[in-house]
């Protein structure tokens, strides 16, 4: 189990852990890592393909204010899961060098490498 922080502004980054195998990625969140979220590597590849031609895109994963065209909206509308996990997957993909990351005028933005 590896640990890392979500990508967030203003000291809101949260520690999470992850495990992965050939099929899927398991994200563990919460104070004692008691909450689980799974995403398959196929779903991750589809996510990267979806955003590949979009240039820079925002995180936009606030649960009460999901932004159109952002990663959070993709989680909500395509994957049908909470947009809060977008920050975890984004951090993982930046670490794995699949996404570029910038904090542009207060917006967290990403671009597929």
Question: Band of the pLDDT at 99, cuts 50, 70, 90?
Answer: very high
Does residue 36 sit in helix, strand or coil?
strand
Residue found by looking up tokens 């995180």 in the block: 59
The pLDDT of residue 31: 87
CA separation (Å) from 84 to 1, 21, 22? 21, 22, 24
What lies within 8 Å, CB to CB, of 34 at 6+ separation is 28
- pLDDT tens-place string over residues 69-85: 899 999 999 999 999 89
Other residues' Cβ atoms within 10 Å of the Cβ of residue 29 = 20
What is the chain's percent helix, strand, coil content, to nearest 5? 25, 30, 40
- Are the C-beta atoms of 44 and 51 separated by less than 8 Å? no
**Would you call 4 exposed, middle or buried from its count of C-beta atoms within 10 A (0-12, 13-18, 19+)?**
middle
Q: Where are the domains of the chain?
A: 2-112
Q: What is the pTM of this model?
A: 0.91
CA quadruple 50, 53, 59, 64: dihedral sign: negative
- Mean pLDDT over 7-26 rounds to 90
């Amino acid at each position: 189990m590896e640990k890392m922080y979500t990508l967030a502004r203003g000291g809101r980054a949260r520690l999470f852990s992850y495990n992965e195998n050939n099929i899927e990625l398991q994200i563990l969140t919460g104070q004692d890592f008691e909450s689980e979220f799974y995403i398959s590597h196929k779903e991750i590849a589809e996510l990267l393909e979806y955003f590949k031609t979009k240039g820079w895109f925002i995180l936009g994963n606030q649960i009460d204010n999901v932004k159109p065209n952002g990663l959070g909206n993709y989680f909500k509308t395509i994957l049908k899961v909470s947009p809060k996990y977008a920050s975890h997957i984004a951090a993982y993909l930046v670490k794995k060098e699949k996404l570029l990351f910038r904090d542009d005028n207060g917006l967290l933005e990403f671009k597929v490498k």
